Structure 1
Amino acid sequence: MAKPVIMTVDDDPGVSRAVARDLRRRYAGTYRIVRAESGAQALEALRELKLRGDDAAVLVADHRMPGMTGVEFLEQAMDVYPYARRVLLTAYADTEAAIRAINVVDLDHYLLKPWNPPEEKFYPVIDAQLDAWRRTPRRESAELRVVGHRWSARSYEVRDFLARNQVSYTWLLDTAPEGAELARAAGDPELPLVVTADGTALSAPTDAELAAAVGLPTAPAAEFYDLIVVGGGPAGLGAAVYGASEGLRTVLVERHASGGQAGQSSRIENYLGFPDGVSGAQLADRARRQAERFGAELITTAEAAGLEARGRARVVRQAGGAEISAHAVILATGVSYRRLDVPGLDALVGVGVYYGAAMAEIPGCRGEEVYVVGGANSAGQAAVNLSRYARCVHLVARADGLERSMSHYLIRQIAEIPNIQVHTRTVVGAAHGSAHLEGLTLKGPLGERRADAQRLFVFIGAEPRTDWLDGVVERDPRGFVLTGPDLVAGGRRPADWTADRQPYHLETSLPGVFAAGDVRAASMKRVASAVGDGAMAVALVHRYLEQA
């Protein structure tokens, strides 16, 4: 195999040669040193390396470069090599910019110039980054190819699964020459066809088969844990990080992909500590890697179907019949978008109609008119992201305005984007199309009208995924899990409560089972509060275990 790459980027030829010289002196035997003199040149080189199947270990970029700063280069390089370690070279006067870059590009280190002698100031930094890169589990599938129909619900689901699990792939239409050739070579199987890097062909794979093919864990390594976290959104990931970091043997089970609804957000701009915003996918990926670094197990395509108490153990039963047991459980299953109940819509889900951001579909919206239904932050973030691709984005909201349900900063952004049109007091009355979405009936202040549309993204409120908890823990009339004070309101106690104490703040009606995040009744429905719930739930798990 080719040597992994260490890349240095600096617009000053003298500095560029000096950095490359020092790197070659120490690392040329094991790593290939690549030098570039601009961010654009470096990005082109990285893309060529990626196409050849080479890996990049460390990227060292100068901050002050014309055309593209080092921070801007590193941010774009994350899309090509997300696991490469990122080091910023900066002068003393630019240390504030370097500190900001820690949030923008998940910067691993910044180095002040000059770095002489390299044995003291340069090599120890690069050694540490290379060691961290070698220890980071990487599950990229750069050569993974997906062949399918443009308007196929299952093809969309496969691409969505891969995208949300941070797995690289190439999408090929079955009508394109390369796609048709791959399908013929595989014996014209049922589509979608997934071809792995080693040439294995999967015909219409299930999510579990797909996960196994790309190296995602689908089964726990043990039968008993200290803590089971059900759900991989911000609350679940927060619980996994704090549980594992505080010594609990922790397993997180997730039915689709880590990040939950927040993981699909194109940009979260009001999360503490990220002044320039962060994408939901980046935030979820960082949290996942952090949890795994502390020793938490993350299991994908594991759908919880039942929960019960067996003595002191709490048992989670999966849809396939497998069981995992633990001393305690944290329910962090979040919510799903409520279905839009209009004629003709259900038959078009996945073929023009999408619930949530549907990140895999967004590049295909280039030059089109698209519709977004909803008035909260998730709908606004999707509209802003889609505006970068679509000719026009129509944001359809039932309310008189966006102020009641959307953050002020987002309303202001939308108002400044010329190709977003906001339609208030408007609803979708019907969807039209046979093989895919072709049009919508809109009902607004001026009456009813027909609009041509090939894509509709729906964000209309939330429903908890708690049917599997029937008869096990108490829920409110809408299905949200009751915890702590809500269980003992008015001086009552939960009907099946067995402990000789009041429930802890996030504890459900089953002792040892806690709820965190959006699934909890009366929660704030924000990323920051969900993460806080996850951390608090772990603290209460410790209190529960100490008194057990």
Structure 2
Amino acid sequence: MEKKPVILAVDDDLQVLAAIDRDLRQEFRRDYRVLRANSGAEALATLRELQVRNESLALVVADQRMPEMEGVELLEQVRALFPQARRVLLTAYADTEAAIRAINHARLDYYLMKPWDPPQQLLYPTLHDLLSAWQATHQPRFQGIRLIGFQWSPLSHALKDFLAGYMVAFQWLDFEAQPEAAALLARVGLTTADLPVVVFEDGTALARPERAAVAEKMGLAIAATQELYDVVVIGAGPSGLAAAVYGASEGLKTLIIERESPGGQAGTSSRIENYLGFPTGLSGTELAHRAWAQAVRLGAEFLAPQEVTNLCVKDGYKVLTLSNGNEVRTRAVVLTTGVSYRTLEVPGIDQLTGAGVYYGAARTEARSCQEQDVYIVGGGNSAGQAAMYLATYARRVYILIRGESLAASMSAYLIEQIGRTPNIEILPHTQVAAVRGQDHLETVVISRNGEEEARPARALFVFIGARPSTEWVCEQVICDGRGYVLTGRDLVQDPRYASSWKRQREPYALETCIPGIFAAGDSRAGAMARVASAVGEGSMAIKFVHQYLDE
């Protein structure tokens, strides 16, 4: 909700100021916030603070005779800062001629005589008329985080994705395209060398911030509160969120640690239409935050964005080392680290990543593709969902696939939707040969049947398979040749790994080679890459955690 618009009263006579403040509050406090200042300098400081906080100013009532700055001079400056605000001069009878000149030359809205008693006759009717006129043309100001940056800055893109991943409402201000971006940057005392800049609702600003600093300012937890947990879940994708919900609901002291934003790869999906119980579909972000809120309500604790860099076993407890050097102790661990998109290895890709080349849906960039051509590499469900979403903005969406059709890699319902969307075109037997551009993507070079063709492009979205995010843990637990974590009978049936299991019982179905450490979701060997199966595995993992803790 927008904060109440402000009415500002200014007078150097503290007794008069108290009287006007009292009368304004009595009549207008229901719909407006009444502030006061006892000098022109104090009033200007207040107005500049309102600007930085992006609050609305409806009316200024200022006394004419003030030392250092007369009321007319102050109200002229108010017009420069808040052009739409109504400006009223408060004057004595002897100054009426000056007040009339001010209305003609300084374009004041009105002047009022002192004293204004009774206010019901001499004050309120005039101010009500002025405020009604202001309300008729008032455009509510955005309330929340504002992000100033350059459209083609990879760091700006990363911050946009981070804020969107946590479903934080924010206003994007492109420094090169929106004049208010430069004005806001000047008001917070920073320069273009500091971009991107995050300006918070309280007016404070962070220049080129790390995600952890933004997260702390947003109120996210950055340190564990318990000395020992029953279970720590590493990764907040669908499987990790399910494990957190079931662990917390069953009374376990549960901590979930996420290095980026909740939802994992599924969280970037613009639309998930085949998840049980949502017949009209929902976005991956929405699903993730429903689960996040559910887990928190049930008592789970979250650390984000925090990254686990090491895992070891000491005296039977699992000790996790975080990237900031802190340690977390727990009795059991559930690895739900998920997967990340494979990188596209073509000339020019490194320089343009985050500046027109994006991995995943990058929904924050969709509006910048208005009436432009965009390209998608990949034929899986994530690529199909992104194509449908981008088609509502882009002039044309091209899906590049190596094979003949999408039938082998994409769900039938998505193929049917794409077929009915006139501005989506599938290019079979096609690969990206190179990407080109100065500071941002300008051209995609495609190769079709051995022939190369350069095409103008606003954006390239890459969905070319995934790799497990397990590089940090494969030295502790056994992974297969591709980096996926081996669990359960896969450990004891393969003679290469049978000696790694030291207990008399067989490992539980989702247990790794280390008792009490479990794996679930897409980073587990043999897992099915679907949201529903990931949720199921995360839920099952808590059952096995209970069995382990009861030993």
TM-score by length of 2: 0.73
Q: Secondary structure at the match of 1:517?
A: coil
Counterpart pick for 1:458 among 458, 462, 467:
462
| Residue in 2 that maps onto 1:342 | 346
Q: 1:501 aligned to 2:505?
A: yes
Aligned mates of 2:424, 2:221 — CA distance in 1: 41
| Residue in 1 that maps onto 2:186 | 184
Q: Deviation at 1:490? A: 4.3
Q: Secondary structure at the match of 2:194?
A: coil
Q: Deviation at 1:366? A: 1.1
Superposed, which structure 2 residues align to 1:94-243 within 5 Å?
142-175=143-176, 176-185=178-187, 186-188=189-191, 190-243=194-247
Residues 428 and 440 of structure 1 are in contact (CA less than 8 Å); yes or no, is this contact kept in structure 2?
Answer: yes
Counterpart pick for 1:520 among 520, 524, 528:
524
Deviations 1:228-270 (A, max 9, x none): 0000000000000000001101000000110111111111111
Deviations 1:457-505 (A, max 9, x none): 0001000111111320000000000000111124665444332211110
Q: Classify 1:347/1:494 alpha carbon distance in 2 versus 1 (closer, same or farther; 3 Å).
A: farther
Q: Secondary structure at the match of 1:518?
A: coil
Aligned mates of 2:449, 2:329 — CA distance in 1: 55
The amino acid of 1:368's aligned partner reads Q
The amino acid of 1:306's aligned partner reads N
Residues 174 and 183 of structure 1 are in contact (CA less than 8 Å); yes or no, is this contact kept in structure 2?
Answer: no
Residues 494 and 509 of structure 1 are in contact (CA less than 8 Å); yes or no, is this contact kept in structure 2?
Answer: no
Aligned mates of 1:310, 1:497 — CA distance in 2: 18
Q: 1:311 aligned to 2:312?
A: no
RMSD: 1.9
Superposed, which structure 2 residues align to 1:274-293 within 5 Å?
274-293=278-297
Deviations 1:490-533 (A, max 9, x none): 46654443322111100001110000000000100100000000
Aligned mates of 2:481, 2:494 — CA distance in 1: 18
Q: Deviation at 1:182? A: 1.6
The amino acid of 1:205's aligned partner reads P
Aligned mates of 2:368, 2:204 — CA distance in 1: 27
Q: Classify 1:179/1:2 alpha carbon distance in 2 versus 1 (closer, same or farther; 3 Å).
A: closer
Q: Classify 1:260/1:281 alpha carbon distance in 2 versus 1 (closer, same or farther; 3 Å).
A: same
Number of aligned residue pairs = 416
Counterpart pick for 2:258 among 236, 254, 260:
254
Q: Deviation at 1:217? A: 1.6
Q: Classify 1:401/1:201 alpha carbon distance in 2 versus 1 (closer, same or farther; 3 Å).
A: same
Q: 1:368 aligned to 2:368?
A: no
Overall identity of the aligned pairs, in %: 50
Q: Classify 1:143/1:383 alpha carbon distance in 2 versus 1 (closer, same or farther; 3 Å).
A: same
Aligned mates of 2:503, 2:277 — CA distance in 1: 39
Q: Classify 1:265/1:494 alpha carbon distance in 2 versus 1 (closer, same or farther; 3 Å).
A: same
Aligned mates of 2:546, 2:394 — CA distance in 1: 49
Deviations 1:377-399 (A, max 9, x none): 00000000000111100011112
| Residue in 1 that maps onto 2:492 | 488
Deviations 1:159-201 (A, max 9, x none): 1100001111111111321100122222315110111011111
The amino acid of 1:358's aligned partner reads A
- Structure 2 gaps, min length 5: 5-29, 32-53, 57-141
Aligned mates of 2:352, 2:204 — CA distance in 1: 31
Residues 3 and 55 of structure 2 are in contact (CA less than 8 Å); yes or no, is this contact kept in structure 1?
Answer: no
| Residue in 2 that maps onto 1:297 | 301
The amino acid of 2:293's aligned partner reads R
Aligned mates of 1:470, 1:151 — CA distance in 2: 36
| Residue in 2 that maps onto 1:133 | none
| Residue in 2 that maps onto 1:541 | 545
Q: Deviation at 1:2? A: 8.9
Q: Classify 1:2/1:341 alpha carbon distance in 2 versus 1 (closer, same or farther; 3 Å).
A: closer
Q: Classify 1:3/1:400 alpha carbon distance in 2 versus 1 (closer, same or farther; 3 Å).
A: closer
The amino acid of 1:266's aligned partner reads S
Runs of 4+ in 1 over 2 A off after TM superposition: 1-4, 490-500
Q: Classify 1:389/1:490 alpha carbon distance in 2 versus 1 (closer, same or farther; 3 Å).
A: same
Q: Secondary structure at the match of 1:287?
A: helix
TM-score by length of 1: 0.74
Aligned mates of 1:490, 1:510 — CA distance in 2: 16
Q: Secondary structure at the match of 2:454?
A: strand
Q: Secondary structure at the match of 1:467?
A: coil
